[in-house]
Amino acid sequence: MPFDSLRPKVTTILANTAETAEQRLTEVCELLQTAVGYYDWVGFYFANEAERTLHLKAFAGEPTDHTVIPFGKGICGQVAESNANFVVADVTAQTNYIACSLYVKAEIVIPLFKNGKNIGQIDIDSHSANPFSSEDERFLEWVNEQVAEIL
């Protein structure tokens, strides 16, 4: 796992105050998508509480039509309501799944908390079956903690 080597790179990207928060988030997405072989799409969605929707703010990978997701819909929408990590080993086994690509086999979504409130999430799609482990969860939780500090 390259996670230990990625931590200082994530920290450096997020510390670059010459860039906007959105630019830094895009760079984090690009880093993770290129550095972790089974991270085929990486994105950050942020909640609009009034509309009960998630909005894509930064990503790396193939463009997606799913730039706005209602709370409760798909894996991301479920995490917006549950406030809990959601690891999907096989997306075809999920009845409430939004297909972003025919190639996606697995997904992991980790909520992003700021001051104890779920304000968004990091979403990762993989073209590999069942690639995510507890190490991915812990690393992505750490990424979200770092991201929360710049928001």
Note the pLDDT of residue 75. Answer: 93
pLDDT in tens, 80-118: 999 999 999 998 887 766 766 778 999 999 999 999 999
d(CA 51, CA 76): 15
Residue 141 has which token pair? 């939780």
Q: Which domains does the chain have, with CATH numbers?
A: 3-150 (3.30.450.40)
- Report the first-to-last Cα separation within the chain, whole angstroms: 28
d(CA 19, CA 27): 10
Q: Classify strands 106-114 and 86-88 as parallel, antiparallel or unpaired.
A: antiparallel
Residue 31 has pLDDT above 60, yes or no: yes
Helix count and strand count (H, E) for the chain: 4, 6
d(CA 57, CA 128): 25
Note the pLDDT of residue 95. Answer: 72
pLDDT, average across residues 39-57: 97
- Using CA atoms of 117, 86, 144, 12 in order, give the dihedral in degrees to the nearest 10: -170
Nearby residues of 13 by Cβ (< 8 Å), 6 or more positions away: 24, 27, 28, 31
